[in-house]
Chain A
Amino acid sequence: MFPSLFFEVLIGGLVLGLLYSLVSAGLNLQYGVTRILNVAHGEFLMLGAYTTYFLFILFGVNPLISLLVSGLVSLILMLALYSGIFRIIIKRSSSIEELEMETLLTCFALSFIFQNTAVILFSANERGYIYASQLISIAGIPFALNRIIVAIASSVINFVIYAFMRFSRVGTALRAMVSEPIGAKLVGINASRMYMLSLLLGCILSAWAGSLISMMFAITPFIGSNYLMIALVATVVGGLGSFIGGIISGIIMGYAVYITMRVISPSLTSLVLYIVLILILLLKPRGLFKR
């Protein structure tokens, strides 16, 4: 019995972890570059999930193809929010603390608005569709095919984002904005373009995670908050603003959540999350991966 549980946890935790790292990579990128802690990040995930759901239910669009649409929808929304709200606050703030606090409150407000607009439009009922649910067996343990698709898709996205951040010129500029904001501006990096870019990239990642989630689990207007909380914990564990740390700690969180759910007790899942958050903040507030 033990080896089969081991393999199940190994793969199940990885699937969750890869998804979490998508969400937390986006949150982390946004915070690292702009100093905006986007607590409305989860709502972009919810939006992506509903876009994919409706495209599948109404038009039978393959969820993998609708990733394009869900990414586009949240890109347009974030573009509107950036030019209407965030750009104004960024320009106006005289200090980082002021910017952080004002945008934090703004994002809470946005989160209230999106979540409850979704309740009004889509109702609070759980929704779901069936896609690629046939069981395939890996090492003698049955897994639904959609889990495997999600794992592959999210590792591809994670890898592409990693490569983009590591090797491309724009990615390097983004990383420079995180580690040396003033120096980056001095060497001629267009800061406001980087702000916009990081917000857009972040919300696309979140929307994609949402689309992938809708393939496996039922969705409600409130799923955003759950994933936001996990992403926030993963981000704090990896260190706010540390991009690679965010991806790694996303996977760690995936295992932590899966093991708690599967081996210990599902009722303890959120308790474990918050204990991890509090302990990390108390012992290593800069995150595990920062020296």
Chain B
Amino acid sequence: MPARQQKYIYPTIIAIALAVAPLFAPRYFISLLAIVFSWIILAVSWHFFCGSTKYISLGSAAFFGTGFYITALFGKSLPIFTVILLGGVISFLLSFCIGLVTLRLKGMYFAIFTYGLSELLKNTLIWLETVVWGTPGRFVVNLDIEFIYYIMLVLVFVVNAFFYLLRRTRFGYALKAIGESEDTAEHVGINTTIYKTIGFSLSSLFMGVVGSILVTRWTYVDPRMGFSGLYSFMPAIMTIFGGIESKYGPILGAVILSLLSEILLTGFKEYYMVILGAVLLFFVVLLPKGLYSILEKISQKFSQRGG
């Protein structure tokens, strides 16, 4: 078989297996997979912008939460696909406006700003809910878990393919050039502001979509859930754990860490954050290139021995 076709065999098998999984797998397993998928989308989206430009955003929760709350607000009055689309589009527009004014902030300032932004949105919503509207939270429309599962499955493939292709365009290379050296990129004629803003908004778009779908798992939500710091930190942690330099890094990190979180949260709730912190610490200090770099080394060794 030609090597070109061989490349597509495993993804196809995995896709088919995942597509038929709800027919025989238990419901718990399906809902677990849906969560893993949503973390993959968040991590891959985060990685697309932050991995190529090296602008570390700690505000993913702002966009996840925007989608999350759009569904909470309109999920009962509008058709669900409209709401999901709305969640994505509004996250996109929000991050576009934010990007235009803030992406001149560099390094530390950008990280602090994005974190502050998601906290600002959270606190504004908390204030609106408790003081102006007089409810601590609201009931949301519920979707069938199999439905969520299929949307997430499709999205995982769409998001990965989208960012994979985007990376190979002029646009993707421009972002990478910005990450290598922003001054040089500007000198060779890249309009860095526009490229950064659009890159940032595209990654936020999918975070908003994930948020607007995932919210339907709960029956009652408040702003603290959607804008939880977990959604800001986890995409970054997962990507760094998996390996920020590889396109498989965020996927690997999201799968392992979200499964680990699930196990820890059901069995050892109070140790969850301690272990998560320890894992992150270990990887940042001792293996800054992430898990994928080790796998790569091992596979290289095997192929050398074989050849």
Contact = CB atoms under 8 A, between A and B. Distances in A.
Interface of A: 31, 37, 85, 88-89, 96-97, 100-102, 104-106, 108-113, 115-117, 119-120, 229, 232-233, 236, 240, 265, 267-268, 270-271, 274-275, 277-278, 281-282, 285
Interface in B269-284: 270-274, 276-278, 280-281, 284
A119 B270 contact: yes
A281 B113 contact: yes
Contacts, number: 106
Contact of B233 (A108, A268, A270, A281): A108
Contacts of A277: 112-113, 116, 120
A253 B113 CA distance: 18
B13 to A, nearest CB: 35
B280 A112 contact: yes
A285 B109 contact: yes
Find the residue from A115, A240, A267, A281 having the highest chain B CB count within 10 A. Answer: A281
B280 A236 contact: no
Given A112-B280, A274-B123, A285-B105, A120 B274 contact: yes
A270 B116 contact: no
Closest 9 CB pairs of A and B: A112-B277, A274-B120, A113-B277, A109-B281, A109-B280, A116-B273, A271-B123, A109-B277, A277-B116
The contact size tier of chain B is 35 or more
User: Which secondary structure characterizes the binding site on chain B?
Assistant: helix
A110 B281 CA distance: 7
Interface of B: 54, 56, 101-102, 105, 107-109, 111-113, 116-117, 119-120, 123-124, 126-127, 130-131, 233, 236-237, 240, 270-274, 276-278, 280-281, 284-285, 288
Given A97-B54, A267-B131, A281-B112, A116 B101 contact: no
B276 A112 contact: yes
B108 A104 contact: yes
A221 B126 CA distance: 23
A236 B109 CA distance: 9
Contact of A236 (B56, B112, B119, B270): B112
11 contacts: A104-B108, A104-B111, A106-B281, A106-B284, A112-B276, A116-B270, A232-B112, A236-B109, A267-B131, A271-B127, A274-B119
B107 A97 contact: yes
Contact of A105 (B112, B113, B126, B280): B280
Given A105-B240, A277-B116, 6 more contacts: A106-B285, A108-B233, A116-B274, A275-B120, A278-B120, A282-B101
A234 to B, nearest CB: 12
Contacts of A108: 233, 277, 280
Contacts of B111: 101, 104
> Which of the listed residues B109, B131, B237, B277 has the most CB atoms from chain A within 10 Å of its own CB?
B277
Contacts of A96: 107
Contacts of A110: 277, 281
